[in-house]
């Protein structure tokens, strides 16, 4: 099991606070308004959306290219030279799901930020392999974290989802609607991949990455975003069945309609074009030139896409582009946050750096965010009492969830408007 646990941010040195709110301070000096007693936002105070926590989690089980040679007609050499991928992590048991991976990544991000889950206002889970069509994976993560003051929703923009979600988090924070937003990319793509289709099964992997975005008065953070879509390419990368257009049936199951279908060459062409364009556009919006970029963290799908777009078209040197897809394959929405964590671990990100996150995916969709990294990445003094409080909350969250389910089962025996089935009792649950 691999989990990003170190490199906490410590905003004390930069003195970040949230627009004059004093209740609910974390160890990073970022102060958030408490949900219990919300304070009015000062519309004239400067407000920025800073990434203050980050974490990832991947399943233990690894499938190498050589393992795949035993499953489908493929070769390690073909996969490495055409994609750059050498191995990928996949879930091994039914107890590992997109939500459980997302919960682990989110816990790691909260630990880095040293923030209690009750401070989180909103959880956005970008995912291409949600637990269910309904309810959202984000709500399951919210319950697992004990983030009792958070709203939660899933965001569906395929592999561009993390960049989309980051843009939503920024908007929500700049509008004054949230102080802390958890943005998670979580995937168990191995469950929707056709393990007999060599054109797709070699590409994808499972994992989750998360960042905590906080309101701050320190200039920088997520400074600009660009989002795009071209639905005329919807059929180029799709899981055709299981939605309202093609409901599940014996036929959809027997024809493999619930697996990923892809026109790889068309997606490759599209990706190469939009990665460069989106990067240029977001830099333009942020008032930066290509030369100002310190590190690009692209969606980790295929090293040739990255070479043909970011390196060749934008002429960004290799050392300014972070690539880790050889270890994880394409983890869709999780690829950029996992790469961010590893870039931090590798010492490639420092306060003052200009970063670009750029992604593309089914839809077709694409997106880019420009980030002025403003948070120290050095480990702060340990705040054991906050850590203890978080761990206790996680334990309590599981018990609370079980208790609420049990109580609901009891109430469900009574008519909804009766003394025992009515609203009063439901309210008592929360
Ligand atoms: N192992 C061995 N051979 C394979 C193979 C595999 N896993 N998959 C395909 N091939 C074969 C093809 O059948 C084809 O054989 P043929 O020439 O006899 O017909 C040959 O390799 C070339 O296939 P082609 O599809 O032209 O390869 P490519 O260089 O375009 O690479 C992809 C294929 C899928 C790696 C590449 O198109 C790609 O990465 N596309 C983007 C996919 C992507 O990123 N999707 C996610 C978006 S978020």
CA distance 47 to 219: 8
Contacts of 44 (CB under 8 A, 6+ apart): none
CA distance 102 to 98: 6
CA 158 to chain centre: 11
* Ligand 1 centroid – CA 199 distance (Å): 6
Identify which of 74, 82, 328 to mutate to test ligand 1's pocket (most ligand atoms within 8 A of the CB). Answer: 82
Atom 29, ligand 1: residue with shortest CA distance:
82
* Ligand 1 centroid – CA 36 distance (Å): 54
Beta strands in 33-179 (DSSP E): 48-58, 62-64, 87-89, 122-126, 151-155
For the chain, count helices (H), then strands (E): 13, 14
* Ligand 1 centroid – CA 368 distance (Å): 26
CA distance 336 to 159: 9
Q: What angle do CA 406, 409, 410 make, to 5 degrees?
A: 95
pLDDT by residue for the chain (430 residues), tens digit each? 343 433 333 343 333 333 323 233 343 434 443 444 567 777 778 899 999 999 999 999 999 999 999 999 999 999 999 999 999 999 999 999 999 999 999 999 999 999 999 999 999 999 999 999 999 999 999 999 999 999 999 999 999 999 999 999 999 999 999 999 999 999 999 999 999 999 999 999 999 999 999 999 999 999 999 999 999 999 999 999 999 999 999 999 999 999 999 999 999 999 999 999 999 999 999 999 999 999 999 999 999 999 998 888 999 999 999 999 999 999 999 999 999 999 999 999 999 999 999 999 999 999 999 999 998 887 666 678 888 999 999 999 999 999 999 998 888 888 877 766 555 545 555 4
Helix H or strand E encompassing 67: helix 65-69
CA distance 153 to 109: 18
What are the domain boundaries of the chain? 22-243+253-372, 385-420
Q: What is the CB < 6 Å shell around ligand 1?
A: 74-75, 78-79, 82-83, 159, 198-199, 202, 237, 262, 264-265, 267-268, 271, 301-302, 330, 361
The CA-atom distances, in angstroms, between 404 and each of 1, 400, 427 are: 31, 6, 11
Identify which of 86, 156, 264, 274 to mutate to test ligand 1's pocket (most ligand atoms within 8 A of the CB). Answer: 264
The hierarchical CATH code for the domain 22-243+253-372 is 3.40.47.10
pTM, 2 dp: 0.90
Phi/psi at 348 (nearest 5 deg)? -95, 0
The residues annotated as belonging to the active site are: 159, 299, 330
Atom 8, ligand 1: residue with shortest CA distance:
199
DSSP 8-state assignment for residue 272: H
Report the candidate in 144, 108, 102 with the shortest Cα–Cα distance to residue 124.
102
What is the per-residue burial (b if ≥16 Cβ within 10 Å, else e) of 92-114?
Answer: eeeebbbbbbbbbbbbbbbbbbb
Ligand 1 atom closest to Cα of residue 301: 44
* Ligand 1 centroid – CA 264 distance (Å): 6
Atom 10, ligand 1: residue with shortest CA distance:
199
């Amino acid at each position: 099991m691999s989990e990003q646990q170190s490199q906490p941010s410590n905003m004390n040195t930069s003195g970040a606070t949230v627009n004059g709110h004093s209740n609910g301070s974390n160890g990073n000096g970022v102060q958030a308004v408490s949900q219990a007693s919300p304070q009015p936002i000062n519309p004239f105070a400067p407000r920025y959306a800073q990434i203050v926590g980050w974490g990832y989690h991947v399943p233990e089980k690894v499938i190498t290219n050589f393992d795949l040679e035993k499953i489908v007609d493929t070769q390690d050499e073909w996969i490495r030279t055409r994609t750059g991928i050498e191995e990928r992590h996949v879930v091994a048991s039914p107890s590992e799901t997109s939500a459980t991976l997302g919960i682990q990544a989110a816990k790691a991000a909260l630990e880095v930020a040293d923030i209690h889950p009750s401070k989180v206002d909103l959880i956005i889970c970008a995912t291409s392999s949600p637990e269910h069509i309904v309810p959202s994976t984000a709500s399951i993560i919210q319950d697992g974290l004990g983030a009792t003051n958070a709203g939660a929703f899933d965001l569906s923009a395929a592999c561009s989802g993390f960049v989309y979600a980051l843009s939503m988090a920024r908007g929500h924070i700049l509008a004054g609607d949230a102080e802390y937003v958890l943005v998670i990319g979580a995937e168990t793509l191995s469950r929707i991949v056709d393990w007999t289709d060599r054109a797709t099964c070699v590409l994808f992997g499972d994992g989750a990455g998360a960042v905590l975005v906080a309101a701050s008065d320190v200039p920088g953070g997520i400074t600009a975003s660009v989002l795009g879509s071209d639905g005329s390419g919807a059929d180029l990368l799709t899981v055709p069945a299981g939605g309202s257009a093609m409901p599940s049936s014996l036929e959809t199951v027997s024809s493999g309609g619930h697996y990923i279908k892809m026109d790889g060459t068309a997606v490759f062409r599209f990706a190469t074009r939009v990665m460069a364009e989106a990067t240029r556009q977001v830099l333009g919006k942020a008032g930066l030139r290509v030369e100002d970029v310190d590190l690009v963290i692209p969606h980790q799908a295929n090293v040739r896409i990255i070479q043909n777009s970011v390196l060749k078209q934008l002429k960004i040197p290799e050392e300014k582009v972070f690539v880790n897809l050889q270890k994880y394959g394409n983890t869709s929405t999780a690829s950029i946050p996992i790469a961010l964590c590893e870039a931090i671990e590798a010492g490639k990100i420092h306060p003052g750096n200009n970063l670009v996150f750029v992604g593309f995916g089914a839809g077709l969709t694409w997106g880019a965010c420009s980030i002025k990294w403003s948070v120290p990445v050095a480990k702060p003094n340990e705040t054991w009492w906050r850590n203890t409080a978080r761990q206790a909350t996680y334990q309590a969250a599981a018990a609370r969830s079980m208790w609420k389910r049990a109580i609901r089962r009891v109430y469900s025996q009574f008519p909804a408007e009766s003394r025992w089935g009515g609203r009063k009792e439901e309210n008592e649950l929360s």
